[in-house]
Amino acid sequence: MHHRPRVRTTFSTLTQLLLASDRTIGLTDLRFCATYGGIPPGYPCKPVNDLRIESLLRHAELAHPTAPVHLLPPPREHPALYSGASGPVEVLPPIACTGTFHSAPLDPSHDPSLYRSTLTIVWFQHTPTLPTATGTDPPLHTVPWDHLARDRRL
C-alpha cells in the first residue's frame, strides 16, 4: 500500500470576503435580477416591496434547500412623490442579489475535509457587481455568520 500525502481541498469561489468576526467566506453562487423585473406596472410602495422580498426569499430557499437563508434588510428610499392608493412611494435599490457563501465548519469537531458551513444571503445593491470586502452595499462583512450559517456534510 502506498502512502499518499493528504491533499487539502479548496473550493473555487467567485470572491472571498473577510467578515468582521475574522472568518473568511467564499461566494460560490450568485444570482442578480432587477428588483422590479416582472412586477406588474404601477408604482413601488411598501406592500409591493414586501411581496418582492418574500418572493426572493422563497426562491432562495427553493434553490438552496440545504442552506439557511438570511435577508440583509434593504435601504428603503421615500422620494417626495405622489402617494397612490397603496401608500407612499418606496424605492429599493435596483439590483436584487442572492448569493450562497461557504466557509470552514462551525463545529470544531467536524472534519474540514468533510464539512463546511453555508449560508444563502439575499441583499440589494445599486450596481450588478461582485461583492467586495470594502465596497459591498450593504456591508456583507457584518453578517453574524456563527449565528446564521449551518454546517453541511459534503
Predicted confidence at residue 9, as pLDDT, reads 41
Q: Report the pLDDT value the prediction gives residue 11, as an integer from 0 to 100.
A: 62
Q: Where are the beta strands (DSSP E) in 61-114?
A: 69-71, 95-103
**Contact indicator for 91, 70 with CB cutoff of 8 Å:** no
* pLDDT of 136: 58
Number of helical (H) and strand (E) elements in the chain, helices listed first: 2, 6
70, 120 Cβ separation under 8 angstroms:
yes
Give dist(CA 129, CA 106) in Å, integer: 28
Q: From CA 5, how far away is CA 29, in angstroms rounded?
A: 30
Which residue ranges make up each domain of the chain?
Answer: 16-153
Spans of the chain, pLDDT less than 50? 1-9
User: What pLDDT score was predicted for residue 10?
Assistant: 53
The proportion of the chain whose per-residue pLDDT surpasses 90, expressed as a percent, equals 71
pTM equals: 0.87
pLDDT attached to residue 4? 38
Q: What is the pLDDT of residue 131?
A: 87
